[in-house]
Structure 1
C-alpha cells in the first residue's frame, strides 16, 4: 500500500476544494455571469484565498473532515463546467445520463459494501500493491483510446486525468476508488438521474393529456 505524500495531499485538498467551491457558486449565478471569463477567474481567485486560510479558519479543513478530498473525476467535471466560459469550449454536459448511471450504480455498490451488506471488500481491494495500479493503467489506456476515437472525449479525458493523478502521485488517498468516486460526485449523479426521471415523467404525463380545441387554447394563452 503506497499512500500519497502529506504535502501533496494538503496542496491537493486546498486546490481541489477551491475549484469545487468556485463551480458551485458559478452554477448559482445567472447564465450571463456564468459564461464570463472574468467572473469565473474571480470566483477561482476568491475561492483559493478562502481555502488558503490557516487551519480551522479554512473551510477546506472542515470539508476534509466531512468528505475527505474530492475525487479526480469530480475535480475534472468541475473544471469542465467552468471551461464553458471560454470561447470554443462548447456546451458540453458535465454529467451526461450514461456517466451518471455508471457513477450512481458503482457508488451504491461501494457504499453497500462499506456497510457490510455486500461484504465483497471492493474498497480495500484498491489498496493492493500490484493489481490496483495495473487496473488503473489499463483504464487509462481504455479512456485514452475512447478520447482518440472521439467517444465522449471530454469525459474520457477527465477519467484519464484522474487516473494519471492517482498513478503518479497516488492522490487523493492512495486508493483508485477515491480517485474516481466521492460522496459529492455520487450525490451529483443520483440527483442528475432523479431530475431526468422527473422530467421524463412530466413529458409522458403531458403527452397523454387530451388536446385542447383551438378556440379553447386561444383563451388560455394569456395565462401561460
Structure 2
C-alpha cells in the first residue's frame, strides 16, 4: 500500500481544518452572537471562510492547523466531507442540523468502539493494520463507495456525499494517512457520532413517554360517555 507524501498530508491538514472550522463558525455564529450575526449575508460568510483559510495556511507553528493536527491527528476524509457538505449548506442558507443521521451515527459509534478496543489490545484482531493492506482496503473502499451511493439514493442527508468524498480522497491520494480506517473515522467524528446517538435515543424516549401519556387521554376523548353522570342512579 502506497503512503501519501508528507507535503501532501500537510496541505490536506490545512484544507481539512479550514473546512471544519469554517463550517462550525458559520453554523454557530448566529446562535452564539445573534446581535452581531442575526443572519449571515453572503459577504459575511465569505469573510468568515476567507479569514479562517488565511489563518490556517500560516506557516509552521503559526497555524492553528499545526496544533490541531498534533492533538487530534489528521481529520478523517469523512469528517472533511461532512464539513464540506455543511459549508455548502450554510452557503445556501439551509437549516442547520447539528446531528448526524441516526443510522450513520450508530454505525460510526460501533465501528469506533471495535477499532479502539482492537487498538488497545482488548480484542487483538489487527483490524487497524488491515487498513494498510491493499486487497482488504480495496474491498472495504468499494463497499464504502456502494454504501455512499445507496445513502444518496435513499436520501440519507449528507452522509452519502461525505462518504463518497472520503473514499475518493483515499483511493486517489491515499489521504489522510494511507490507512482506510483513518479515512473513515477519527476521534472528533467518533465523539460527534456518540453525541448524535445519545441525543437521538433521548428524543425517541421522550416521544414514547409523551405517547404513553397521551394515549389514555385519547381513550377518554373517544368515549366521553364514561365521564357523564348517570341521572338514573346506579345501574
Post-superposition Cα deviations, 1:55-114, rounded to whole Å, max 9, x if no partner, equal 111111111111111111111111222222344867777611111111111111111111
Structure 1 77/23 Cα, relative in aligned 2: closer, same or farther at 3 Å?
same
Q: Computing the radius of gyration over CA atoms, which structure comes out larger, 1 or 2?
A: 2
CA drift of 1:35 comes to: 5.5
Distance across 1 between alignment mates of 2:44 and 2:168:
30
CA drift of 1:135 comes to: 2.7
Distance across 2 between alignment mates of 1:26 and 1:114:
35
Distance across 2 between alignment mates of 1:207 and 1:50:
50
In the other structure, the counterpart of 2:109 is: 104
Distance across 2 between alignment mates of 1:34 and 1:12:
31
Q: Superposition pairs for residues 52-201 of structure 1, below 5 Å?
A: 52-87=57-92, 95-147=100-152, 149-152=153-156, 154-201=158-205
Structure 1 33/82 Cα, relative in aligned 2: closer, same or farther at 3 Å?
farther
In the other structure, the counterpart of 2:27 is: 27
In the other structure, the counterpart of 1:221 is: none
Structure 1 unaligned regions, length at least 5: 212-224
Distance across 2 between alignment mates of 1:93 and 1:65:
26
Distance across 2 between alignment mates of 1:173 and 1:48:
22
TM-score (norm 1): 0.82
Structure 2 unaligned regions, length at least 5: 32-36, 216-235
How many positions carry a matched residue from both structures?
211
Root mean square deviation, CA, Å:
2.8
Match of 1:40 among 41, 45, 51: 45
TM-score (norm 2): 0.78
In the other structure, the counterpart of 1:17 is: 17
Distance across 2 between alignment mates of 1:82 and 1:180:
19
Structure 1 SS opposite 2:29: coil
Distance across 2 between alignment mates of 1:198 and 1:141:
31
- CA contact 1:125–1:132 (8 Å) conserved in 2: yes
Distance across 2 between alignment mates of 1:87 and 1:210:
39
